[in-house]
Amino acid sequence: MKLPARILLGLALTLLAAQAIRPMSNRGAATGPNHLSAKAAVPAEVEQILRRSCYDCHSNATIYPWYANVQPLGWLLEWHVRDGKKHLNFSEFATYAPKRADHALEEIAEAVRERHMPLASYLWVHSAARLSDEDVKTLADWASNTRRALGAAGSTPTK
Ligand code: HEC
């Protein structure tokens, strides 16, 4: 076999073998004892937006799409979930120290207002997760009000 053919075959076999490795490890419960709602009031409309547009990457429960079975797409997805959860996990929010919770709420308002979140690559395939202007306002207002409420409850806001 010529070298290019061997390389191609090698790549094809690697890609085939890669299909066997499916991480998809984020299959816990979105809500639980440490969920955001244990620390802050979460109106139903806010919960709905978070569930629809944020929980796949910022909770313990990802709803995996079919292409999570296709590598390397599934790995890329898993990486987003891990990275997203590291920054912010609504399922564990109640365990955050006051300063971290305050900062997270500040960033939530910022991230949705600037349309940095949800990630653009996610919206290509999850168009239903796109936030309307009203959703942005609902989330950002809730985040700011919650910051104030938690701050007034005795924590020390960073800014
Ligand atoms: C497809 C996965 C995904 C979705 C869906 C998603 N995020 Fe993220 N999020 C990430 C990743 C990855 C990071 C860390 C890297 C970065 O900041 O870009 C992050 C970071 C953040 C941060 C940290 C600060 C910042 O601005 O970077 C906040 C706050 C945040 N996301 C809020 C949200 C909110 C609110 C939603 C829903 C409206 C959402 N995210 C939807 C993946 C996601």
Q: Can you tell me the mean pLDDT for 105-127?
A: 96
What does the pLDDT read at residue 156?
A: 52
Confidence of residue 153 (pLDDT cuts 50, 70, 90): confident
How many A from CA of 110 to the centre of ligand 1?
11
Tokens of 153: 């409850």
How many A from CA of 91 to the centre of ligand 1?
14
Cβ neighbours of residue 95 under 8 Å, at least 6 residues apart?
34
The ligand 1 site (C-beta within 6 Å) comprises 53-54, 56-58, 80, 83-84, 87-88, 107-108, 111-112, 116-119, 122, 131
Q: Which atom from ligand 1 is nearest to the alpha carbon of 80?
A: 12
Residue range 7-44, pLDDT digits in tens: 999 999 998 998 888 888 899 999 999 999 999 999 99
SS3 assignment, position 97: coil
Q: Is the pLDDT of residue 85 over 60?
A: yes
Spatial contact of 98 and 150, defined as CB atoms under 8 Å apart: yes
Nearest-CA residue for ligand 1 atom 26 is 111
Tokens of 59: 């909770």
Q: Distance (Å, rounded) from C-alpha 23 to C-alpha 68?
A: 9
Q: Which atom from ligand 1 is nearest to the alpha carbon of 121?
A: 1
Look at the alpha carbons of 71, 73, 76, 77 in this order and tell me if their dihedral is positive or negative. Answer: negative
How many A from CA of 137 to the centre of ligand 1?
17
SS3 assignment, position 27: strand
Average pLDDT, the chain: 93
SS3 assignment, position 87: helix
